[in-house]
Amino acid sequence: MKKVEFSPSLMTMDLDKFKEQISFLNEHADSYHVDIMDGHYVPNITLSPWFIQEIRKISALPISAHLMVTNPAFWVQQLIDIQCEWICMHVEVLDGLAFRLIDQIHDAGLKAGVVLNPETPIDVIFPYIDLVDKVTIMTVDPGFAGQRFIEGALDKIVALRELREQNGYQYIVEMDGSSNRKSFKRIDEANPDIYIIGRSGLFGLDEDIEKAWNTMVSDYEETTGKVLA
């Protein structure tokens, strides 16, 4: 059985306990997910490249930046400058930019990802699907934590895995949105490579990050019948 990877969404962490929570997660998580919102693409403003630099001071885990912005080109270069391992862009704002930005990220020795909203079909990325390193499927509408889980979006994860197997593509498949006890079993059936976990699946389970993590693990194991290594 392949290893299940968990990537905490740091937008939902307790910033009053930043060092404490990161220090614990460094030993348990597989990577970090950092949402960068500009207040235009979504009506919210959250983290930034500066925040990623702060994480770098106390963590060596890979970081994936999720750009929920109207002008990805503005942010891509900033993330290249700080060598963020994964730079993931919403396909809904990539028209006329996709090849240029993917090449720019790859030329810097970094990995390029694309993100699809729940209503966006996967055929939008077919022109450059062979170039991307990661495809993230949103299972909630973007912009805020704690939104309704959109189960139908999981079908795109299944389709992407099938396309990868049939065509030898190299991308990994990630899911983002309401990954928690209520949804773990259905997500597990779709079988993404990476689960992004936020408030409902991790940080909101307990004020103590170790207890919250252990509860998350128990929730996953009990609902899926699988034991995490």
Detail the residues annotated as belonging to a binding site. 33, 35, 66, 143-146, 176-178
Marked catalytic residue, from 14, 16, 30, 35? 35
pLDDT of residue 47: 81
112-138 in b/e form (b: 16+ CB < 10 A) is bbbbbbbebebebbeebbebbbbbbbb
Feature table: binding site for substrate = 66, 143-146, 176-178
Active site residue 38: no
What is the pLDDT at residue 109?
A: 98
10-176, CATH topology level: TIM Barrel (3.20.20)
Output the pLDDT for position 29: 98
Q: What is the pLDDT of residue 146?
A: 58
As averages over each run of 10 residues, the pLDDT of the chain (229 residues) reads 88 94 97 88 76 96 96 95 98 96 98 97 98 97 74 97 98 95 97 96 97 98 92
| pLDDT for 141 | 86
Binding residues for a divalent metal cation: 33, 35, 66, 176
Neighbouring CB atoms inside 10 A of 83's CB total 13
176 has catalytic annotation: yes
Which pLDDT value is given to residue 125? 98
Please report, for the chain, the start and end positions of each structural domain, with discontinuous segments joined by +: 10-176
